[in-house]
Chain A
Amino acid sequence: MSEPILKLENVVKTFGSNEVLRGVDLEVAPGQSLVVIGGSGSGKSVMLKNALGLMTPDSGKVLFDGQDVTQSTGKPREMMRSRVGMLFQSGALFDSLTVWENVAFRLIHKERMKRSDAKERALATLKKVRLGSEVAGLFPAEISGGMQKRVSLARSIISEPDLIFFDEPTTGLDPITADAINDLILEQVRSLGAAAVSITHDMPSARKIADEIAMLFDGKIIWRGPASDIDHSGNEYVDQFVHGRASGPIQPAM
């Protein structure tokens, strides 16, 4: 396996007395699509935020392209973020900006590109996610949830990152729109040659976009393997989750 683009080493994160991550170890190779599955409240989003630097682990390490970025701020952190894209669960589009301004945000504000050039790039990227120029001037509140996800996807790929995080990319979408988003994710990740880390509890989505699947339970990765092995993992926790059974070793989050 080549040098991982992202590596988490024994990452621990606690909130008060609640130990959410109890030593997560994870590696993602360049160009690989890894999906992390796990129940509600299992710490998937916390793991993602620690990997992104939006939270700092209590202990353990986060390495990006071989560099320890666990505690980094300033330029090293900016360097990492310039090579990373993120699609948030809610889309997280900026309400006060139009669709094309959202997509071109990094180009205008970080790369100091001229607005006219940035708009041109934004329109080209919107086209990649099957959105026409007629939506470019609208505000996020004026478009549907599925369109918002596609705009958010466009924003995450516009600077051609080496690693893209997807936080529950299909949550809240109907099955057809969700499948279309999965197709777009696959298409864009493959065309960029980027690595992808997705977290989801949507199994059809996981099966479609994953090269490998890992399961997070009780603050640790308890299983990892090729996506094709998910139905015969030999792990009772994975089996219960994949088949969506209420009875088994995992207690429903109620």
Chain B
Amino acid sequence: MSNVSTHKTGFPNPLRWIGAGVLGLFAEIGRLSVFAGRTALAAVTPRWFLGQIWRQMIQIGFFSFPVVGMAGVFIGAALALNIYTGGSRYGAEQFVPNIVVLGITRELGAVITGLMLAGRVSAGISAEIGAMRVTEQIDALETLSASPYRYLYAPRFIAALITLPILVAAADIVGVMGGWLVSVFSLGFDSTTYLRNTIDFVTTGDIAAGLIKAVVFGGVIAIMGCYQGDRSQAGATGVGRAATLSMVGAAVLVLASNYIMSTLFVELGL
């Protein structure tokens, strides 16, 4: 039964409906903020479960290399092809290496990695923690005097903060190589000139912008996965729904935070 009141005619009262939706949204933001705060606090204060952190770094970082590498190389290649096609309309084909490296390091390397991990990692974390929630393993942790924030959530949060920049750095390198491959073997660029232009054009600020974004994306992905998993409802449907919500939530937050950070970096001249 809906908790939204209806008019005497039987139609839902739209104002109440909107009001309930807005209140629900704020309540969810509040819960998520408290959860994120508690997880971050557990991450920066002892005790740290180093074995758990290492295990999560392998899960989140090492096992994501293939998917991030594949995505990077194809994005770099497609980017080079499109920039060449567009640039040729103005006789600006020679800027392909410059724009590829700029686009990859400042935006696409981080965003593509963030989106891929929103799917692979955030949903995975959510499903794992959701299954633990519904099988009472998280309750068991608490009765054994182990805080789930310290034992489960903080290790995933820390691991994501550490591994995302490494993955983004790898995506940057592979993405640039993807552009180089297409440019040299398909578009007729000279290999040495392409690489020289790339290295001369890219700045430390460009690379730093992507890596800073990666740290934020890592936090977002881990928090969304843990939060939705922790709130998972019973049953396969509940766990599946938690995985979907975490993936969608993480992807939207990755894109939104990317825009905010890009704006900030431009303002700061980074």
Contacts and interface: CB of A to CB of B under 8 A. Distances in A.
A98 interface: no
Contacts of A155: 144
Interface stretch (B13-21, B135-143, B170-178): B135-143
Given A78-B145, A109-B146, A49 B137 contact: no
Interface in A124-161: 155
B139 A92 contact: yes
B180 interface: no
Contact of B144 (A49, A89, A95, A110): A110
B145 A54 contact: no
Contact of B146 (A85, A89, A90, A110): A110
A166 to B, nearest CB: 12
Interface residues of A, number: 22
Contacts of B139: 49, 54, 88, 92
Contacts of B135: 90, 92
Interface in A37-95: 49, 52-54, 78, 81-82, 84-86, 88-90, 92-95
B151 interface: yes
B181 to A, nearest CB: 40
B221 to A, nearest CB: 20
B176 to A, nearest CB: 37
A110 B140 CA distance: 14
B141 to A, nearest CB: 8
A54 B146 contact: no
Contacts of B151: 109
A87 to B, nearest CB: 10
A90 B136 contact: yes
Contacts of A110: 144-146
A89 B136 CA distance: 9
Contacts of A89: 136
A86 B145 contact: no
Interface in B124-157: 131-132, 135-137, 139-146, 151
Contacts of A90: 135-136
A49 B135 CA distance: 14
A94 B140 contact: yes
Interface of B: 49, 131-132, 135-137, 139-146, 151
29 contacts: A49-B139, A52-B143, A53-B142, A81-B142, A81-B144, A81-B145, A82-B145, A84-B143, A86-B143, A88-B136, A88-B140, A89-B136, A90-B136, A92-B135, A92-B136, A92-B139, A93-B137, A93-B140, A94-B132, A95-B132, A105-B144, A106-B144, A106-B146, A109-B49, A109-B145, A109-B146, A109-B151, A110-B144, A110-B146
Given A92-B135, A109-B145, 7 more contacts: A90-B136, A92-B137, A92-B139, A105-B144, A105-B146, A109-B146, A110-B146
Interface of A: 49, 52-54, 78, 81-82, 84-86, 88-90, 92-95, 105-106, 109-110, 155
List 10 A-B pairs, minimum CB-CB distance, nearest first: A92-B140, A92-B136, A86-B143, A88-B136, A110-B145, A106-B144, A81-B145, A92-B137, A78-B145, A90-B135
